[in-house]
Amino acid sequence: RKEVEQDPGPFNVPEGATVAFNCTYSNSASQSFFWYRQDCRKEPKLLMSVYSSGNEDGRFTAQLNRASQYISLLIRDSKLSDSATYLCVVEGYGGATNKLIFGTGTLLAVQP
């Protein structure tokens, strides 16, 4: 079982739609959680951190459910420019190490 699992999609949605991505993680000791965005042939870039209380940044809302080990990302009023791969990321701990573990990503295609 992968440490971080995501639905690979693709999600094809019309402009203006609301779309939600889900992610589960296996290590209950994980402390930090993120959503990254990756455009085609580009590097991943931090979209937002995810906090237990949930957090919102404009049209984007991230939620964390520690009990279910579940993370979500909601995009409202989607734009063409939101088309990208969205990566769920968990910071793993092991002894003195902490490292980011990436899901394989969910591809979003926003259609005009």
Partner 1 sequence: DARVTQTPRHKVTEMGQEVTMRCQPILGHNTVFWYRQTMMQGLELLAYFRNRAPLDDSGMPKDRFSAEMPDATLATLKIQPSEPRDSAVYFCAIPTGESYGYTFGSGTRLTVV
Q: Which chain residues interact with partner 1 by CB under 8 A?
A: 32, 34, 36, 42-46, 49, 87, 89, 94, 96-97, 99-105
Q: Are 73 and 94 in contact (CB under 8 A)?
A: no
> Please, which residue, 40 or 67, has the CB nearer to partner 1?
40
**89 CB burial (10 A radius; 0-12, 13-18, 19+):** buried
> Please, which residue, 13 or 100, has the CB nearer to partner 1?
100
> Closest approach of Cβ 105 to partner 1, in Å?
6
> What Cα–Cα distance (Å) separates residue 92 from each residue in 18, 79, 82?
30, 32, 28
> Closest approach of Cβ 26 to partner 1, in Å?
15
> Closest approach of Cβ 72 to partner 1, in Å?
18
Q: Are 87 and 9 in contact (CB under 8 A)?
A: no
> Please, which residue, 19 or 103, has the CB nearer to partner 1?
103
